[in-house]
Structure 1
Amino acid sequence: MTSPMYILLLLAFIFANAPFLTQRLLGIFKLKHKHIGHHLFELFVGFCITAALAWLLESRAGIVHHQDWEFYVVTICLYLIFAFPAFVWRYFWSGRNKE
């Protein structure tokens, strides 16, 4: 793998974990209580940004290959696995969420 691919994986990991690390929507808008819908929206936006960067890298390297639905299912699952550490920290380890 080349260095842009490692950078892309690192950015995907950061974008996947960012929604669970802050109370701000998209890191900009302060929210009083951030619920799971906000997290899912931010995960979707982060995935779209990551996918756009991946497409840009592939287009710079040559012809962009057509992908079937299986490719997108696997990339979404990988993205959700990347988000797992911050999800666990937010909902299971963080003391502020205990009742």
Structure 2
Amino acid sequence: MTQTGSIWLVIVLALVAANLPFVNDRWLLVGASAQGRKPLFARALELLALYFVVGTFALALEKRAGQIAPQGWEFYAVTGALFVTLAFPGFVYRYLMRRGAPTDAQD
């Protein structure tokens, strides 16, 4: 796989992984289904765990290419912010979209 292909693979994987906690009601994506709704705190913890999973995958691809570079805190701050930004569509879908007509609508 080329470096460009690896980069796009990581970006697409990050986009999918960042939205998984918001479109899935299972605990840690594969566990038992949550009773009722999962709290936002649980979704945020899953988001953090998936950030590390995608980061580990990206590090493995970088190691395979032979270009491991040391990273400072700035790198992790920027990639964390990017991961949270990529999660915005899932957050909007889960918490901000209205489902159906409001129950207290006046005609």
Query: Which secondary structure does the structure 2 equivalent of 1:39 belong to?
Result: helix
State the alpha-carbon separation in 2 of the partners of residues 88 and 49 from structure 1. 23
1:86 correspondence with 2:79: no
1:46-99 deviation per Cα after TM superposition (whole angstroms, max 9, x unaligned): 101100011101111114111111110000000000000110111010428x78
Query: Which protein is bigger by CA-based radius of gyration?
Result: 2
State the alpha-carbon separation in 2 of the partners of residues 58 and 72 from structure 1. 16
- 2:8 aligns with 6
Greater strand share, structure number? 1
TM-score by length of 1: 0.90
Of 67, 73, 89, the residue aligned with 1:69 is 73
1:4-25 deviation per Cα after TM superposition (whole angstroms, max 9, x unaligned): 2111111100000000002111
Residues 1-99 of structure 1 mapped to structure 2, 5 A cutoff: 2-28=4-30, 29-32=32-35, 33-95=37-99
State the alpha-carbon separation in 2 of the partners of residues 57 and 94 from structure 1. 40
Percent identity for Structure 1 against Structure 2: 34
Distance verdict in 2 for CA 1:79–1:18, change over 3 Å: same
> Structure 1 residues 72-81 or 22-31, which shifts more?
22-31
Unmatched 5+ stretches in structure 1: none
The one-letter amino acid of 1:39's match is R
Unmatched 5+ stretches in structure 2: none
Alignment: residue pair count: 98
TM-score by length of 2: 0.84
What is the alpha-carbon root mean square deviation over aligned residues?
A: 1.7
